[in-house]
Structure formats: structure tokens, C-alpha cells
Amino acid sequence: MATYIVLNSFTDQGIRNVKDSTKRADAVRDLAKKFGVTAKEFFWTLGSYDVVAIYDAPDDASMTAFGLAIGAAGNVRTQTMRAFSREEMNGVLGKLT
């Protein structure tokens, strides 16, 4: 499974309904399962992004489809980053020779 970090910013709709934010996170967790994605953590944050989420997904296509489904709900805009563990990064670095 690959790990993804998703930075979320509330849309106008999302901030108008901010009181439902934790309930929406529960719904996102359930939605993720339909795409074979596991929602590991949600963090509500200060600064440029409102929520940071960590997911595990079997592949980029599954994560992309899931991300599109989140976006279609209209509450957040997302920026998705593929994350590499230390072990995975050592494998990548090993290919540099």
C-alpha cells in the first residue's frame, strides 16, 4: 500500500458548514473504503490548510478516484502528495547507482 498525505482547504460551502467537519471526516472514512483506500488520520490544522489527512491506497488510480469523489462533494479543495517511508526512500535511493 502506498501512503498519501492530503492537504485540505475548506471551500465556501465547507466553511459555512464547518460544524459538521468531524461528521464529514467520518463520511470520508467510509467513502474511502469503497475505493480500497484506508483513512489513517485526520488533523484539523492552523495555517494555510484546514485539514491534513493521511491515507493508504493500493495505487494512484484508486487514490485519484477517491480524491475526485471528495472534491465532487464540494466541501474542500485538496492537494495530494505521495509519501515515502524511510524504507521506501532507501529503495528509491538505491536505484541511483
pLDDT (tens digit, 9 = 90+) per residue, 14-66? 999 999 999 999 999 999 999 999 999 999 999 999 999 999 999 999 999 99
Alpha-carbon span 13 to 11, nearest angstrom? 5
**Phi, then psi, of 49 in degrees rounded to 5:** -120, 150
Alpha-carbon span 26 to 37, nearest angstrom? 14
Q: Is residue 96 scored above 90 in pLDDT?
A: yes
User: Nearest-CA neighbor of 35 among 2, 74, 8?
Assistant: 2
Q: Is residue 1 scored above 90 in pLDDT?
A: yes
pLDDT (tens digit, 9 = 90+) per residue, 81-93? 999 999 999 999 9
Confidence at residue 97, expressed as pLDDT on a 0 to 100 scale: 80
Confidence at residue 42, expressed as pLDDT on a 0 to 100 scale: 98
Q: Distance between alpha carbon 49 and the CA centroid of its chain, in Å?
A: 12
User: Nearest-CA neighbor of 65 among 75, 15, 55?
Assistant: 55
